[in-house]
Amino acid sequence: LVRSRGLGDVYKRQLQILPNFKLKEEKISKMIDHNEMIFRKLYVNLPVGVELYDRDGYLIDLNAKDMEIFGIRSKKDVLGVNIFSNPIMPKDVIKKLKENKSVNFRLNYSFKKVDDYYNTSKVGEMDIVTKASILYDQRGEPSSYLLINLDNTEKMIAYNRISEFENVFTLSLIHISEP
């Protein structure tokens, strides 16, 4: 005769296994918390602006550097703006994002053009380099847009000054070499 296990034996075995699962669950939870803390520190301290938009294009978060770049005083002033309604966003970029394609672009960003889009303390223009990426959920479906912004203005000013100097220098050489 083969003795079948009773329900009591099964429950005893499950109770023996349960502490192992509980320990693994706690360890996984601690790892997730730790990774989340590292991600949050990176997000907050990155030297570039980061914007996160939901699937429909509404801004749901941005970091402090992005607020600094765009002259935003408070997150509440911009949360909920729609990337597809941004008057300065190039049409080809909007098209690519709607097609779930990542895109890199450079923009001469005029603060006059965004007066009605969001409140900013900045005036004038700046040179912005942006990488826009599509983020996907667990099922592989597009879930959000991530924009990484770099204020390239100082670099462009330096390049322009060098270029102007080269032009003046070249003209001076031409003038000097003429009899």
Alpha-carbon distance of 48 to 44, in angstroms, equals 10
Average pLDDT of the chain is 80
More confident of the two residues 1 and 152: 152
| The pTM of the whole model exceeds 0.85 | no
Give Cα separations from 131 to 15, 43, 106 (angstroms).
Answer: 51, 16, 9
Reported as a pLDDT band with limits 50, 70 and 90, residue 2 is very low
Alpha-carbon distance of 171 to 114, in angstroms, equals 40
Alpha-carbon distance of 75 to 84, in angstroms, equals 19
Q: Which region among 1-5, 10-14, 31-35, 89-93 has the lowest average model confidence (pLDDT)? A: 1-5
List helix spans (H) across 46-152: 64-70, 91-98
Q: Which region among 28-37, 99-108, 165-174 has the lowest average model confidence (pLDDT)? A: 165-174
13-37 mean pLDDT: 65
* Residue 21: per-residue pLDDT: 60
Reported as a pLDDT band with limits 50, 70 and 90, residue 33 is confident
The answer for residues whose C-beta is within 8 angstroms of residue 150's C-beta and 6 or more apart is 48, 49, 128, 129, 130
pLDDT tens-place string over residues 95-129: 999 999 999 999 999 999 998 899 999 999 999 99
Q: Is the dihedral of CA 171, 173, 174, 179 positive or negative?
A: positive
* Residue 115: per-residue pLDDT: 86
Reported as a pLDDT band with limits 50, 70 and 90, residue 46 is confident
Q: Is residue 51 over pLDDT 90?
A: yes
* Residue 50: per-residue pLDDT: 93
More confident of the two residues 22 and 120: 120
pLDDT tens-place string over residues 55-88: 999 999 999 999 999 999 999 999 999 999 999 9
